[in-house]
Amino acid sequence: MDTELTPKQLAVEFLRRETNPLTPAEYLKRVKQLELEFAGLMALSSLELKEEIDYAWRLGIH
């Protein structure tokens, strides 16, 4: 059994918690956007990821 999450799986799980209704086109567009974002985050080293989290925290993005 493969337990490693892919960027697409993370995107779908993230959108599963979305409360705003999306059209099918909006959903697909959002999945693709989130997939790219998660892929970028997964490629970061632990230090780079910490810097990204600190930067988002300073901007007030939680």
pLDDT tens profile 14-32 = 999 999 999 999 999 999 9
pTM exceeding 0.85: no
The model's pLDDT over 53-62, given as tens digits with 9 standing for 90+, comes to 999 999 998 6
Using alpha carbons only, how large is the chain's radius of gyration in Å?
14
pLDDT of residue 1: 62
Angle, vertex CA 13, rays to CA 9 and CA 14, nearest 5: 115
What integer pLDDT is reported at residue 61 of this predicted model?
85
The 10 Å Cβ neighbour count of residue 11 is: 20
Q: Domain ranges in the chain?
A: 7-59
Tokens standing for 31?
Answer: 């999945």
